[in-house]
Structure 1
């Protein structure tokens, strides 16, 4: 479902080049759930954006749903996202001029869904906001806005859902409700889930956990594996790939 080979991302800062991602290798199978954790600035959100085709890598390959998105144009990546990908942002990213119902309907309309309003109402019901569909984002609390964002992401029934700090702007109680909704919807739709979070409780709900540190990704060993194996490092040395130039 997701396969990454020697992925690198560098940016220019003044006269210097800054390495954000260093030779990432990663494979996530269909139906798996994975969390990426790490301190701010470690490269987590950059990696998530690359996996979703929202940005371009400096080098390396990303295979999404069997297709190498690194070779695609922006329009081609957008078409692939419309068919297979959902995204939940920390800042909700709802369009302020549209109601909650219209925000959920929008990706359905763009994907050519036969009954976008009906489907949107079904998913607003799933997140307990059936009676708030006519409200605009400014009239909703942060938790309600994130629930609309979840409904919007799942309404298109994506094969893969990316979530970037989905509870980062919420209080603990509201965040916990969002977590429960996220995994309930994920279980119901059998969507592959990849999320970035600072919260260990959220990360531990996922089947796999990865740690990002200084642009390098490592996978935590599951309880079923031997304690002697420590961490499985996703580095160029693991697959024989060359390091970033």
Structure 2
């Protein structure tokens, strides 16, 4: 479903080239879950962006569903994201001028999904926001905005869901609910899940873990708990 081979990312700074990722390899089967774990600045969010086709590596290749996405144009990668991929970001990424319902509804309408409104309402209800459908993001708490973002991701019924610190702005109780929803989707719908997290309890629920330190894979753990070669 998803693999990365010899992924490196180098950017130019005033002090010269800076290597953010260095020779990262991974493989994730369809329907499985992967946690990318690491300290702030380790390169884990950059890796997530490259795997999702939001960024391109300086070297290496990403294969999604048997297709090299690094060889595609930005428009071609955007088409794949629209059709097969959803995101949950720590910063919500909601449109402030649209209601909660409209934020979930918009990508479904762009995709041409039948019964889009019913589906949007269903997933907002699933995350506990049935009574907040017509509220706008500025009228919602941070936790409520994150739940709208999660509902939007779920409603798209993606083949693969990328989540960057999905519980980072949530209280403990709401965070647990979101975690349960993420893994329910992974198990019930066969959605492949890739998430960046600093929470070990969340990482431990994934089939695989990839620990990134200073841009390199420091440790890789498979679903049996066995260490894999880096």
**TM-score, normalised relative to structure 2:** 0.95
Residue 112 (structure 1) aligns with: 112
Show the 5 A alignment for 1:38-187.
38-187=38-187
* Deviation for aligned residue 1:156: 1.1
* Deviation for aligned residue 1:127: 1.3
* Deviation for aligned residue 1:186: 2.6
Residue 204 (structure 1) aligns with: 204
Show the 5 A alignment for 1:182-197.
182-197=182-197
Partner Cα separation in structure 1 for residue 142 and residue 207 of structure 2: 28
Residue 220 (structure 1) aligns with: 221
Q: What does the per-residue CA deviation read over 1:204-241, in whole Å, with 9 as the maximum and x for residues that have no partner?
A: 1111111001111230355554xxxxx4243xxxxxxx
Match status 1:232 vs 2:221 = no
**Kept after mapping to 2: 8 A contact 1:143/1:178:** no
The CA RMSD over aligned residues, in Å, is 1.4
**Kept after mapping to 2: 8 A contact 1:63/1:69:** yes
**Kept after mapping to 2: 8 A contact 1:162/1:194:** yes
Q: What does the per-residue CA deviation read over 1:49-92, in whole Å, with 9 as the maximum and x for residues that have no partner?
A: 01110011111110112111101111100000111101100111
**TM-score, normalised relative to structure 1:** 0.89
> Which structure 2 residue ranges, 5 or more long, are not aligned?
none
Partner Cα separation in structure 2 for residue 97 and residue 222 of structure 1: 42
Partner Cα separation in structure 1 for residue 57 and residue 193 of structure 2: 21
Residue 35 (structure 1) aligns with: 35
* Deviation for aligned residue 1:191: 0.5
Partner Cα separation in structure 1 for residue 87 and residue 65 of structure 2: 15
Partner Cα separation in structure 1 for residue 56 and residue 181 of structure 2: 31
Residue 26 (structure 2) aligns with: 26
**Count of aligned pairs:** 229
Residue 239 (structure 1) aligns with: none
**Kept after mapping to 2: 8 A contact 1:146/1:178:** no
> Which structure 1 residue ranges, 5 or more long, are not aligned?
226-230, 235-245
> Runs (4+) of structure 1 moved beyond 3 Å?
221-225
Partner Cα separation in structure 2 for residue 222 and residue 102 of structure 1: 38
